[in-house]
Amino acid sequence: MSNLQTMGQQHGRRSWAEPWKIKMVEPIKMTSADDRKRALSEAGYNTFLLRSDDVYIDLLTDSGTSAMSDRQWAGIMLGDEAYAGSRNFYHLEAAVQTHYGYRFVVPTHQGRGAENLISQVAIKRGQYVPGNMYFTTTRLHQELAGGIFADVIIDAAHDSQDLHPFKGDVDLDKLRALIDKVGADGIAYISLAATVNMAGGQPVSMANARALRELCNRHGIRVYLDATRLVENAYFIQEREPGYADKTVSEIVKEFCGYTDGAWMSAKKDNLVNIGGWLALNHEDVFEAARNLVVVYEGLHTYGGMAGRDMEALAIGIEESMSDDHIRARIGQVRYLGELLEQWSIPIVRPIGGHAIFLDARRFYPHLTQTDFPAQTLAAELYLDSGVRSMERGIVSAGRDPATGDHRFPKLELTRLTIPRRVYTQAHMDVVAESVKAVYDHRDSTRGLRMVYEPQYLRFFQARFEPA
């Protein structure tokens, strides 16, 4: 239950608070409207191109931006920087095995390093990779390895207002239809993400993961999991799915992974570190292939691009991330912000997801077409108003179809307010909400953007825009 709901109860106010206190602070800079106008223009109206010194509250991403604990910082001092066989690797390996349940672990510098390995090892050119909605880097690595991504998420996920409790679920009928069409051999593996970032941080139910496993077993198809925000997913299962209220988040994570053959991880999210990733596998042959390839792209198989100290902080972060109190407060803070916006009827993706509030830019700016880049525009307007940095998750992020070269036109045109873990306070959330409200209040006079520079890969990172 969120603080706002708690406050609304008749029998008195009983708020929750974060299960930590602040030991060290990092000053942030306040900027003037003129400063922001200049900075945004220099950044080509792309929030990725702003200097962080020009940002007041940074909700660009929850990736690598979380605050580490005193225990993690103490772990940094225990770094064993041996090139080979660092003891910190064995701590990391044990933490992944204990909490996620997989047999083999390959460390990587971050999530996309692991995505590259699994894509190269498990995809044959021309094979399909069905998944529950695309993610930018995931799909790109699948395509670079010769795969063809096929969206098999339930339709509700593409509707910002559908209140389905598990909008991340795989539509098994869509998947069966694809298997019938291309055969099991035509499918590399299922790319299952939990939660689903581009749908608004929406969870996958345990029932769906179990049913997916059964279907894939019948056809001999493997299931690989994007575990980047699985702990958040587990919290939603505990809260919403019958039979899970009395299980811990850690138990739920382990059961969920048990329905999959392996997972890749951007440890910069759930796992509470500023850098790091891993690939975990159950099949020895796949593991051996990935362990061999990691030395080509990342580093030796006992560091994979991370320093020993980073692996120690990660091993501790994995353990901390599984705490029920931690994850309840983390998702509670996201909800606090979302409920403030809902009170003012500001259009957001519902239900509120795990890591971010996603503003529905189509409904925010109904007078703009998708090629006016409404979500990019909204991110720019928010920055101009208050120095709050957000991220486009719409047509720019979707990129171009590699076969036709045309824009992809996703149904969801969203601006993401992403909350780093253990970083900002409730007062920061109030400031953010009030800024969104101010931008909403002058929405009718807002004009769109046009793209003036477009890089080949993952254009949202580096594209430049000008006011239309």
Return d(Cα 84, Cα 299) in angstroms, integer.
10
The answer to whether 128 and 182 are in contact (CB under 8 A) is yes
Q: How many residues of this chain interact with ligand PM9, rule: CB under 6 A?
A: 16
Closest to ligand PM9 by CB, 213 vs 416, is 416
Closest to ligand PM9 by CB, 218 vs 400, is 400
What tokens appear for 215 in the block? 């279907």
Question: Among candidates 235, 240, 319, 222, which has minimal Cα distance to 273?
Answer: 319
46, 72, 132, 138: residue in contact with ligand PM9 (rule CB under 6 A):
138
Q: What is the CA radius of gyration of the chain?
A: 21
Q: State how far Cα 336 lies from the chain centre.
A: 19
What are the two backbone dihedrals, phi and then psi, of residue 225, each rounded to the nearest 5 degrees? Answer: -105, 135
What tokens appear for 319 in the block? 């353990």
Pairing state between β 57-58 and 388-389: parallel
Q: What x-and-dash track marks residues 267-306 binding ligand PM9 by CB under 6 A?
A: -x--------x-----------------------------
Q: Known catalytic residues?
A: 83, 135-136, 226, 269, 393, 460
Query: CB neighbours (10 Å) of residue 430?
Result: 13
Closest to ligand PM9 by CB, 247 vs 389, is 389
Q: CB of residue 314 vs ligand PM9: minimum separation in angstroms?
A: 12
Q: CB of residue 355 vs ligand PM9: minimum separation in angstroms?
A: 8
Task: Tell me if 111 contacts ligand PM9 by CB under 6 A.
Answer: yes
66, 72, 197, 446: residue in contact with ligand PM9 (rule CB under 6 A):
197
Q: CB of residue 193 vs ligand PM9: minimum separation in angstroms?
A: 5
- Which residue has 């692991």 as its token pair? 114
31, 46, 47, 61: residue in contact with ligand PM9 (rule CB under 6 A):
61
93, 169, 171, 226: residue in contact with ligand PM9 (rule CB under 6 A):
226
Closest to ligand PM9 by CB, 419 vs 433, is 419
Return d(Cα 151, Cα 170) in angstroms, integer.
9
31, 110, 127, 132: residue in contact with ligand PM9 (rule CB under 6 A):
110
Return d(Cα 122, Cα 145) in angstroms, integer.
9
Return d(Cα 71, Cα 69) in angstroms, integer.
5
What tokens appear for 223 in the block? 């299931």
Closest to ligand PM9 by CB, 266 vs 333, is 266
Task: Tell me if 63 contacts ligand PM9 by CB under 6 A.
Answer: yes
Q: State how far Cα 147 lies from the chain centre.
A: 22
Q: CB of residue 265 vs ligand PM9: minimum separation in angstroms?
A: 8
- Which residue has 């409790």 as its token pair? 165
The answer to whether 273 and 315 are in contact (CB under 8 A) is no
Task: Tell me if 191 contacts ligand PM9 by CB under 6 A.
Answer: no
Q: Segment near ligand PM9 (CB under 6 A), from 20-28, 135-143, 361-369, 442-450?
A: 135-143
36, 91, 99, 112: residue in contact with ligand PM9 (rule CB under 6 A):
112
Greatest alpha-carbon pair distance for the chain in Å reads 62
Length of the chain: 468
Residues that bind ligand PM9 (CB under 6 A): 61, 63, 110-112, 135-138, 193, 197, 226, 228, 266, 268, 277
